[in-house]
């Protein structure tokens, strides 16, 4: 790898990455390869052969191709380098860690009624991790654990929105009926002192008036700590109380290709029961693909009950499982005549334990006749979620169609028709299991016969080359002597 190529890799990987979790002025964080630390900026002063936030990347040891490239591949703009006899990923962005730099140091997971925050400080760390203004509150404390294999130190805390752990709630934002929950975590570098080198991690859970929660990475303009210019980090996640999957009728994952008539099921399981504990499938539509000349939408489920169109493809009604709260719709796969692509768009309502509006309705068994039900949202105790899934459906009866042509063109077209029919017959012949087995056996026999013949030929030639014929003159004996008669004159 040339120096120009290595410089290009460095510009792409670390040229625009700002150090967030590493500061060589912090306790336990030192510059690598003997490079000095700038006491004013906390940035390592790297020499010509090294780069990175801690000067830990050896430019001459970068590996981009070949058998020594890192496995698994490096992620998040990290760089593979040779360290001793091994290849390791160098995390150019210090906000990530792991064998492939695939893990983020600050992760927030938002559920229905709480937020779980995980912090992995930059090593070596001997300080404190706590919720702002709750350093000594044991109910808001983080639990630190060390992985016995990797030695990675991790802190985690699960905080309920209604707890006393300084979870800030802003009602009617960003819209009327919404609520924003803010949590701020302090990563204190020193076990004894608060300094300007500490880090604040902020996570914001936004609960919309529909009851769906998301996490925003928008950092507010209000100072999160009395100490000025603290390094800030934020995480992002999405709260999904209900999942949606199209599966085989037995619950296994589908494997393309899919054909008309294949028994499948629509599966709607609850992913989180901490806030919502029950669900109701309000409606479900089938749509044709975007490539269709005209859009088509057919309602299969309406107000919690199958419609006439739904009954024609569904196998039974909607099945609800109370053990693992979920809704299941069994059906035979179908498609629209103008498109091989079909999409399902379903509206699911989720309810809290005190809300009884998620009880399944009484559906009339007659096709097209359902008992209408008002699907209102009762304050913040229920929510409606729209879920979508798309499939490509094939018709097993699709075959070559031979057009009808005038008699004067029949000879020419007839040749093409015969060729098409022969092609179809050949494909069917080669697809026959018995024919395939016979062909495999014949091929194996021919290969074995060829190998045996070659071995015998080589052995014969080798034996001929080793035989030497030695002819020894036979001594003349009396029996072998021939007497020539002499003529007497």
Three-state DSSP class for 464? helix
- What's residue 238's pLDDT? 60
Pairwise CA distance, residues 312 & 307, whole Å: 9
Q: Which of the listed ranges 158-162, 440-444, 478-482 does the model predict with the highest average pLDDT?
A: 158-162
Query: Parallel, antiparallel, or unpaired: how do β-strands 199-207 and 231-234 relate?
Result: parallel
* Residue in the structure block whose two tokens are 């096709």: 367
Select the more confidently predicted residue: 91 or 109: 91
Question: Rounded to an integer, what is the distance from CA 461 to the centroid of its chain?
Answer: 60
Radius of gyration of the chain (CA): 38
Lowest-pLDDT range of 51-60, 204-213, 357-366, 384-393: 204-213
* Residue in the structure block whose two tokens are 């899919």: 258
Percent of the chain with pLDDT over 90: 33
Q: What is the 3-state secondary structure (H, E, C) of 52-83?
A: CCCCCEEHHHECCCCCCCCCCCCCCCCEEEEE
Lowest-pLDDT range of 276-285, 319-328, 475-484: 475-484
Dihedral of alpha carbons 409, 414, 419, 425, sign = positive
Nearest C-alpha neighbor of 196 from the set 38, 54, 42: 42
Query: How much is the pTM?
Result: 0.57
Select the more confidently predicted residue: 271 or 466: 271
Q: DSSP state, 402?
A: -
Cβ-based neighbour number of residue 76 at 10 Å: 19
With a CB cutoff of 8 Å and minimum separation 6, the contacts of 259 are: 333, 393, 394, 395, 396
Cβ-based neighbour number of residue 73 at 10 Å: 11
pLDDT digits (tens, 9 = 90+) for 449-468: 888 888 888 777 777 665 55
Look at the chain and count its residues.
489
Three-state DSSP class for 274? coil
What's the longest Cα–Cα distance across the chain?
Answer: 158
- What's residue 54's pLDDT? 93
Helix (H) or strand (E) holding 388: strand 382-394
Cβ-based neighbour number of residue 296 at 10 Å: 16
Contact 319, 304 (CB under 8 A): no
pLDDT digits (tens, 9 = 90+) for 97-155: 999 999 999 988 877 788 889 999 999 899 999 998 888 889 999 999 999 998 999 99
Question: Rounded to an integer, what is the distance from CA 103 to the centroid of its chain?
Answer: 14
Mean pLDDT of 306-317: 90
């Amino acid at each position: 790898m040339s120096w120009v190529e290595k410089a290009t890799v460095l510009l792409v990987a670390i040229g625009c990455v700002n150090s967030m979790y590493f500061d060589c002025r912090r306790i336990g964080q030192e510059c690598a390869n003997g490079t000095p630390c700038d006491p004013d900026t906390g940035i390592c002063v790297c020499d010509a052969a090294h780069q990175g936030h801690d000067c830990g990347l050896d430019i001459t040891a970068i590996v981009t191709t070949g058998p020594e490239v890192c496995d698994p591949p490096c992620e998040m703009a990290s760089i593979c380098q040779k360290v001793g006899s091994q290849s390791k990923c160098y995390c150019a962005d210090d906000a990530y860690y792991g064998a492939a730099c695939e893990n983020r140091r600050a992760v927030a997971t938002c559920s229905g009624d709480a937020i779980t925050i995980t912090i992995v400080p930059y090593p070596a760390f001997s300080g404190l991790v706590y919720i702002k203004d709750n350093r000594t509150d044991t109910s808001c404390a983080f639990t630190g654990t060390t992985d016995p294999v990797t030695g990675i130190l991790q802190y985690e805390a699960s905080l309920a929105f209604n707890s006393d752990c300084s979870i800030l709630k802003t009602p009617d934002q960003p819209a009327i009926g919404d609520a924003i929950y803010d949590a701020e975590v302090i990563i204190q570098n020193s076990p004894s002192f608060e300094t300007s080198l500490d880090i604040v991690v902020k996570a914001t859970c936004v609960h919309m008036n529909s009851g769906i929660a998301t996490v925003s990475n928008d950092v507010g303009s209000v100072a999160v700590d009395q100490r000025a210019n603290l390094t800030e980090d934020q995480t992002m996640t999405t709260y999904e109380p209900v999942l949606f999957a199209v599966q085989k009728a037995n619950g296994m994952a589908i494997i393309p290709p899919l054909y008309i008539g294949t028994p499948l099921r629509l599966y709607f399981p609850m992913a989180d029961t901490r806030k919502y504990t029950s669900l109701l499938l309000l409606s479900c539509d089938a749509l044709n693909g975007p490539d269709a000349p005209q859009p088509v939408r057919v309602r299969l489920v309406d107000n919690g009950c199958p419609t006439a169109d739904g009954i024609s493809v569904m196998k039974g009604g909607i099945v609800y499982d109370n053990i693992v709260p979920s809704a299941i719709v069994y059906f035979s796969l179908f498609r629209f005549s103008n498109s091989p692509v079909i999409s399902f768009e379903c509206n699911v309502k989720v309810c809290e334990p005190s809300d009884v509006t998620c009880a399944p309705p009484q559906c009339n068994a007659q096709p097209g006749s359902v008992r209408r039900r008002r699907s209102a949202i009762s304050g913040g105790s229920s929510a409606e979620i729209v879920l979508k899934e798309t499939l490509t459906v094939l018709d097993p009866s699709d075959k070559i169609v031979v057009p009808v042509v005038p008699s004067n063109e029949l000879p020419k077209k007839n040749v093409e028709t015969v060729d098409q029919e022969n092609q179809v017959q050949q494909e069917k012949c080669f697809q026959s299991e018995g024919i395939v087995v016979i062909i495999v056996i014949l091929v194996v026999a021919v290969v074995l016969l060829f190998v045996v013949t070659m071995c015998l030929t080589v052995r014969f030639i080798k034996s001929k080359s080793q035989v030497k014929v030695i002819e020894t003159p036979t001594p003349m004996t009396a029996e072998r002597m021939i007497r020539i008669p002499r003529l007497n004159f």
